[in-house]
Amino acid sequence: MTLENVIWTEVPEREEAGSPNVIGVVALYAAIEKLTQLGMANVARHEQALTGYALTRLGEVPGLRVLGPQTTDARVGVMSFVLAGVSHTLVAAILSYEFGIGVRAGCFCAHPGMAHLLGVSPEDMASLAQQIMQHEKFGVPGATRASLALYNSTADVDSLVDALKAIASGRYRGKYSLDRATNEYTPAGWEPKFETFFSI
């Protein structure tokens, strides 16, 4: 949580070691082979061009502020941003449930760095740590993060920007309810329809 302390998750998650990621090793090998074929210089050029495009397009969203450097020579294709007047976790939920866009929300296991970028004082961080220890994450500041990579295109950036413009103007369909313990939103009445994707 800060440079001085950490807040562990509750049991049983805290004690779970997990299984060795054998599938991940195989996938990593395949990814390295593909990247070698493409050439890392080509991959870097693609990411830099896409990052520049994204920075320009995200600047069109009313009330949106991209955190960190605003030029491609000082960053990679990871865009953390805040949208004025809308919780970062609500932005993430709407992007996911209504637009099919996968992002992360929160402090990304980098609380001190995010506190700096968001302008959260050490005193407020101490207060937030106490709040989190009471199992109350509501109101904990954070950002939404979209990541760009080799498999993304300008069309993906355009879809993200269109969705963010809709959210900024309040044009989304769902009614979202907040879980104050986790600070996460889900649309009211929503349940996953696994049969749409899986069948046995």
Q: What is the pLDDT of residues 105-161, one digit of tens each?
A: 988 888 888 888 999 888 888 888 888 787 778 778 899 999 999 999 999 999 999
User: In terms of DSSP H, where are the helices of the chain?
Assistant: 22-38, 40-58, 88-99, 111-118, 122-133, 154-168
- pLDDT bracket for residue 197 (50, 70, 90): low
pLDDT, residue 143, reads 95
Q: Which residues are catalytic?
A: 109
- Which residues are paired to 106 by β-bridges? 143
CB 133 within 8 A of CB 2: no
- Angstrom distance (rounded) from CA 144 to CA 41: 28
Q: Count the Cβ atoms, other than its own, within 10 Å of residue 157.
A: 22
Average pLDDT score over residue span 87-103: 95
pLDDT, residue 170, reads 94
Q: Count the Cβ atoms, other than its own, within 10 Å of residue 172.
A: 20
Q: Which two tokens stand for residue 181?
A: 């313990």
CB 114 within 8 A of CB 123: no
Q: Is the pLDDT of residue 176 over 80?
A: yes
- Angstrom distance (rounded) from CA 43 to CA 82: 28
Name the 3-class secondary structure at 140. coil
Instruction: Tell which CATH architecture fits domain 19-190.
Output: Alpha-Beta Complex (3.90)
pLDDT, residue 200, reads 65
Among 34, 2, 30, 16, residue whose Cα is nearest residue 112? 2
pLDDT, residue 134, reads 79
- Which of 171-176's residues contact partners 24+ apart within 8 Å by CB, and which partners? 172/94, 172/98, 173/98, 174/94, 174/97, 174/98, 176/90, 176/93, 176/94
Average pLDDT score over residue span 150-175: 95
- Angstrom distance (rounded) from CA 26 to CA 23: 5
DSSP 8-state code for residue 8: P
- Angstrom distance (rounded) from CA 33 to CA 26: 11
197: Cβ contacts below 8 Å, ≥ 6 apart: none
Least confident of 14-23, 65-74, 103-112: 14-23
78 vs 130, residue with greater confidence: 78
CB 128 within 8 A of CB 18: no
